[in-house]
Structure 1
Amino acid sequence: MEIIVLGAGVIGLTTAYYLNASGHHVTVVDRRSQVGLETSYANGAQLSYSYVAPLAGPGVLSKIPGWLMRHDSPMRFRPSADPALWRWCFQFLRACTRQRSLQSTRHLLALSFLSRSLMHKLVDNEPLLDFDYARSGKLVMHRDAKAFASALGLLEFQRTLGCEQLPLDREACVRIEPALESIRHEIAGGIYTASEDTADCYRFCLSLEKLLRGRGVVFEFSADVSALKHAPGGRVEAWAGARRLPGEQIVVALGCGSTKLLRPAGIDVPVYPLKGYSLTVPIRSGGIAPRISVTDFARKVVYARLDGRMRVAGMADLAGYSNALNRRRLDTLRLESEAVFPRAGDYAAADEWAGSRPATPGGMPIVGSTPIKNLWLNVGQGALGFTLATGCAQLLDDLIAQRPTAFDCSMFNLSAHP
C-alpha cells in the first residue's frame, strides 16, 4: 500500500521503518527542514524500559500544591482559557488512583519490553550510523527514605511482571556510580536496573532517515499538513496547503501537533504538551561525570552520558504550546546538575533546549485505528517516546496489516482513552 506518515520524529521514523519492512511504499512528511527537530531533538536520552509508571499516580496528588507554588518545582502549571488544558487536567486527576496506575504500569511494561527487544534487534542487525548508543544500566537515586521505601514496594510489583532490578543502599549507590560521591550524604538508597540503555535520539533519527532513504522511503520536508479533508468512502485525504498528498493510508505521528490537525476531522485525542528542558554539557577532560544513566527521583532530573557529552533533562510545565526557553527553569536545571555532578563538565558551554512532550492524562499512548477507515494514530507517548517508539511502531504495522500483535494492545486504542 501507499502510506503517508505525518511526522519525522522518532515515532514517525520508526513507524516508517516497520511499514517499509512490511513492503509498503512509505512517504514521511514533516513541516520542519529535516528529521528529529522537535521533541526528539534533545530529550533525556534514556531508554528506560523498566521505568514506565505513569506520572498520574496516587502519590502525586499530595505533591501538586507544593509543586505549583515553587518556581524550582519539577512540575509547573500556568492557567489559561484553553478548554483542552482544563479537560486534560481533570482527566489527569481522575487517573491518579492506585488501581489505574498499576494497571497502566502493567500495560506499559509489556510495551516497553517489546520495544527493548526490537531496539536491540535493530541495533544488532541494521547498518546504523553512530548515535551514542550504550547499554549503560540505570540508577534511580532517592534522597527521601519514605520515597525509597515506596520504590521498594513498586520494585516487588514490577518483579512479578518480569523486571530485574536491584535495591541499593547509600554506599552501594556510590560504588556503582562513583560520580555521586559529592552527594553521598544526601542519598537514602537507589534502584539499579542493568537492562536500561542510553542514546542520542536525534542522531538515531538521522541514522534511520539514511537507512530508509536507501530502501526507497520518500521524505517531504517543509510541508506543513494543514488539513485532513473528508473523501468518499469514509476516508480522508491529507492536504499541505493547496496540495493533496497521495496515499491510501495515513498515519498521524505528529506529537503535540496531532490534536489541532485531527479535531476538524472529528477525531479528539486527549494529548496536551508537557514542556521539558534539557542541557547538553561538554564533559571536561578528566571530568567526573556519570558512566551509567542516573535519575534523581526527588528532583525529577535525569542524566545520561553520550560519549563526550552529558545530557541533563527534566521538569514538566503545563504552559501551552510554546517551546520558548524559560531562563529561570534552565537556571534551576543547571544548578541542580552542578550540585549533583559539580566536576562533570563545562556547564557554561552547555547547549540549552526546550521541547513539548505529547502526553495523555493517564500516560498511555494512543496506537491504532480511528473511526475513519484509512486514518491511523501513533501519538501520546509523553516522556517515553524514545523508549516506546519501536514497540508502538511494530504494533501499528501489525494492526494495519491485520496480523496478530505481540500482545493484546486494545488498551492503547483511541476508544480506550476517555
Structure 2
Amino acid sequence: MHITVLGGGVLGVATAWYLAKSGHQVTVIDRQPSVAQETSHGNAGMISPGYSSPWAGPGVPLKAIGWMMQDLSPFMINMKEMDGYTLSWMTKMLANCNTRSYQINKARMLRVAEYSRDCFVDLRKELNLDYEGRQQGTLQLFRKQKQIDALQKDIEVLKQLGIDHQALDMDGCVSHEPALKYVKDKFVGGLRLPGDETGDCFKFTTELAKQCETLGVKFLLNTTIQNLNASNGKIVSVNTDKGQIVADAFVCALGSYSPHTLKTVGIDIPVYPIKGYSLTLPIEDESRAPQSTIMDETYKVAVTRFADRIRVGGTAEIASFNLERPLKRRASIDFVVQDMFPGAADVAKAEFWTGLRPMTPDSTPILGGTKYSNLFLNTGHGTLGWTMSLGSAKFVADIINNKQPDIDPEGLSIERYYG
C-alpha cells in the first residue's frame, strides 16, 4: 500500500518509519528543505513521560492570571493576535479545568507517553542513532514550600499508574545534579522522575529519516501542501505546489498546521499553536552544567543537557501563528539558566528560537482514524511531541495495519470531541 505522510517533523518521520517497517511504500511531504525544521527543531529536549500533565486543571485560570502578573512570566497572551478561533479554543480549554477532566486527560496522556518511552528503548536496541541521548531522568525543582505541599495530587496519580518517582530534599537533588550545590539555597526540594530521558529532537529526526530512506521512504521536501481531495468517503489525493500526489492512505502529522489542511475536506480539530521559545548555549564550565533535565517549576522553564550544549526551553504564549522573536520574551529563560547554573554557559552566544506547539484543549494528542476510511491523524501533542513521538507513531501505524494497538485506544481519537 502507498501511504503519504503529511509533515516531516518527528511525528511524521516516526510514522513513516513504522509504516515502512511494516512493508508499505511511504512518501513524506514537507514544505521545508529538510526534516525537523519547525517545532521539532529547537524544543526543550525532554522525553518526559512522568511530566505529562494537562494544561487544563483545577485552579489553572487563577494561576494563569498570577503568572501573567509576574515580572518573568511563564505565560502570556498576545492581545493583538486574539481572534474568534483563539477565543473558541480557550473556551474549550477552560471547560477542562476541573478535577474530573484533569484526571481523565492526565491518564490518557501518560498512557501514550509511557508507551512511547518503551518504544524509545526498543528503537535504541535496533538502531544506533546519534542524537545526544541521555537516560538520567528529569528533576522538577521547587523554589517555594507551597509548591511541594501542592504536589501530593500529582504524586498520587504517579503512584496509581506505577510511575517511578522520588521526592527529594535539596541534598538529594544535589546528589543527582552536582552543579546545584552552588545554588542550593534558592530551592527547597524536588521531584525526580528517573525514567525520563533527554536528547536533541532535531538530530534524532534527521538520523531516523536516513534510516527511513534505507527502507525506501521518499521525502518530497520544499513542497507545500495545498489541500486534500475526497471522493466516496476516501481521500484520493493531495494537491501540492509541485503537483498532485495520489496514494492509498494519508496520515496528517502537520502539527499546528493540521487544522488548515483538514478543513479542506470538512474536518475540524481543536488544535491551537501555542508559541514557545528556547535558547541553545555552548557549555563553558562542565562542573557547573546540568547532567540531564531540570524543570524550574516557578518559571516553567526546562534546562536540558546535550553533549556540549545546554538547551533552555520555556514560556507559553497565545499568539496565533505569530513567529516573531521579541527579545523581551527571552527574559525568563535567560534568567533561569543563569540563576540555576551560573557560569555554566555563555548566554551571549545563545541561539534564540521560537516554535509553535500544537495544543488540544485537553492536552491529549489526536490519534487514529477519521470519517474518511483512509485518512489518519497524528497531531495535537502540545509540548510533548518529542516525548510521545514513537508511541504515537507506532499506535497510528498499527491502526492503519488493522492491528490491535499495544495500548488502549479509548479517548485518543477525534471522536472524543464529537461523542
Please state which band the TM-score falls in when normalised by the shorter chain: over 0.9
Which residue is 1:33 aligned to? 33
SS of corresponding position for 1:190: strand
TM-score (ref. length: structure 2): 0.96
- Residue 242 and residue 202 in structure 1: after superposition, are their counterparts in 2 closer, same or farther (change >3 A)? closer
How many residue pairs get aligned? The number is: 417
One-letter amino acid matched to 1:83: G
Residue 111 of structure 1, CA deviation: 1.2
Quick check: 346-355 or 61-70, which moved more?
61-70
Residue 285 of structure 1, CA deviation: 4.2
Contact conserved, 1:18 with 1:394, CA < 8 A, in 2? yes
Counterparts of 2:285 and 2:338 in 1: how far apart (Å)? 17
Contact conserved, 1:141 with 1:297, CA < 8 A, in 2? yes
1:354 aligns with 2:354: yes
Which residue is 2:344 aligned to? 344
Counterparts of 1:8 and 1:55 in 2: how far apart (Å)? 26
Quick check: 233-242 or 10-19, which moved more?
233-242
Which residue is 1:365 aligned to? 365
Counterparts of 1:192 and 1:115 in 2: how far apart (Å)? 19
Residue 122 of structure 1, CA deviation: 0.4
Counterparts of 1:224 and 1:32 in 2: how far apart (Å)? 8
Which residue is 2:92 aligned to? 91
Residue 175 of structure 1, CA deviation: 2.6
Residue 58 of structure 1, CA deviation: 0.8
1:331 aligns with 2:331: yes
Counterparts of 2:236 and 2:156 in 1: how far apart (Å)? 47
- Residue 71 and residue 355 in structure 1: after superposition, are their counterparts in 2 closer, same or farther (change >3 A)? farther
- Residue 409 and residue 233 in structure 1: after superposition, are their counterparts in 2 closer, same or farther (change >3 A)? closer
Query: Which structure 2 segments of 5+ residues have no match?
Result: none
SS of corresponding position for 2:392: helix
Counterparts of 1:244 and 1:185 in 2: how far apart (Å)? 61
One-letter amino acid matched to 1:297: E
One-letter amino acid matched to 1:381: H
Contact conserved, 2:236 with 2:248, CA < 8 A, in 1? no
Q: Percent identity, aligned pairs only? A: 34
Residue 189 of structure 1, CA deviation: 1.4
Matches within 5 A, 1:131-146: 131-146=131-146
Counterparts of 1:104 and 1:121 in 2: how far apart (Å)? 26
Residue 141 of structure 1, CA deviation: 0.5
Counterparts of 1:195 and 1:240 in 2: how far apart (Å)? 42
Query: Which structure 1 segments of 5+ residues have no match?
Result: none
What is the CA deviation profile of residues 103-154 of structure 1, one whole-angstrom value per residue up to 9, with x for unaligned ones? 11112112111101111110121142x1101102111001121221221331
One-letter amino acid matched to 2:366: I
Residue 242 of structure 1, CA deviation: 6.5
Residue 236 of structure 1, CA deviation: 4.0
What is the CA deviation profile of residues 371-399 of structure 1, one whole-angstrom value per residue up to 9, with x for unaligned ones? 12221110000000000011111110111
Contact conserved, 1:365 with 1:379, CA < 8 A, in 2? yes
Residue 205 of structure 1, CA deviation: 0.8
TM-score (ref. length: structure 1): 0.97
Residue 214 of structure 1, CA deviation: 1.0
- Residue 108 and residue 332 in structure 1: after superposition, are their counterparts in 2 closer, same or farther (change >3 A)? closer
SS of corresponding position for 1:263: helix
Residue 232 of structure 1, CA deviation: 4.1
Counterparts of 1:123 and 1:217 in 2: how far apart (Å)? 20
Counterparts of 1:251 and 1:19 in 2: how far apart (Å)? 11
The Cα RMSD (Å) is: 1.4
Counterparts of 1:82 and 1:237 in 2: how far apart (Å)? 32
Which residue is 1:381 aligned to? 381
What is the CA deviation profile of residues 64-97 of structure 1, one whole-angstrom value per residue up to 9, with x for unaligned ones? 2222344631111123452210111001111111
Contact conserved, 2:72 with 2:299, CA < 8 A, in 1? no
Which residue is 2:2 aligned to? 2
